[in-house]
Structure 1
């Protein structure tokens, strides 16, 4: 049985590759900003967009994109001005998004079962219009994350320093939030709204186990993302298991494997550095002890 003989699997694999590329591409900035759970919050808000799509008989992907972008902007505004009550406002936004999705779906004459493919991903329901929307949205995400990588990296590392250098910090923060929202809606057909945050964060965390620079972390994280989305999609087809959960479990497995691989390497590097310090070798003593994109000052 050739998996590519089926048109729905061709669409699913194409969507999986696009999601595997853009989710870590956005996630690396969220990890730097210590907003790893932002994707999860946006996923809750996007449920309202899916429900509105059903109610208004329009594309749930595009409607979810519009609603999640609005939600991401509100999250940034709350972060700026929320002060002590910001966490309560965010909680209301997240839970209101979930409730709105269920309510609008019910008003459209459907049931919560209609939301299942959007919450946890579904291979057979990825249509040609979905692929078109995913491709266009993914192109936008790549243009932002690659074209503005230096500016986004600077803001993610130190907002005050970026502001002093003349960068439009608030505009870049909003753009990051909007890009994350678009990524969530792109990934919901493959991974699902409730699991997409894992694909944005865990590949980056796995890549950090082995890499020291931003560029290397970016490349390895994207490679992991593409590998697990393809692997999870193929496994889902042959084993008849949910694609979203399969992809996330493979991602966590990659993190565990790379952590196990990195631990002895880190110990060996530490011993080499200690020996170099004892021998007075300045070149070896200059080796940084930290890993991941935090240890680099450039892109």
Structure 2
């Protein structure tokens, strides 16, 4: 009994609510942010180092090759606010280029966030590091210590592609409100390309992405009062031509039933749980999205093959401010 009570205390109620509500939908789905518990975050770091996963490699090369130009356009010093825990490769590049006085990583995975922040602090002893454990898709407060500092938001990795366009627009508007007037945003956006390359990036032969996706089932079993047969599902990456995105699904390989928090969810063979999207944007689509979200693009850097874009945008004036 004490173990059950402890689990009930530690579970995130938002996780429980999203899982139960998501599995009741016509197309069962669970928000992608719940893929990133500590183990999920570690697996995603492993994904970024795979040969098939081009986005991190290409974006890192863009940053490294254009660091001085990016810093000149974005400005040095001030506060660098990263939406998502610091990447072991990209975040140090931007810290070295922009030389901020203060670095604020924001992430929903508290343990991973604190470990990442501690490592960055150790590697940059003169930098003030102030991690914020929060879901950046919802309202939260930035540290008082950065009040009055020039703010540069950092949203790499094409994470914006995980959101459907309407939600992506809302998220960008939220970033605009959080970062305030005269701020800037550095954002990565993946572009449409050969479908074989896209599928390989999200269904690697090593099986790391499959483990990342299936870890969501492990988390449900661990954190909720659940009985889920994890072996009854396999990972699948699909290209949705109409919506311009890669979709990750957990596909039932046989009839199975999930018992979660006293509720039962039946899956027939072939039924899926939709766990993540990765929208791909053309040049005009990326800029339109930013403009709709309250940001005006002012500079763009791409790789030689134009596979990926790293865009700098400035906050549009808040016309509704007093």
Q: TM-score scaled by structure 2?
A: 0.23
1 or 2, which has the higher strand percentage? 2
Q: Which has the higher contact order (CA 8 A, sep 6+)?
A: 1
For normalisation by structure 1, the TM-score amounts to: 0.24
Judging by fraction of residues, say which structure has more helix.
1
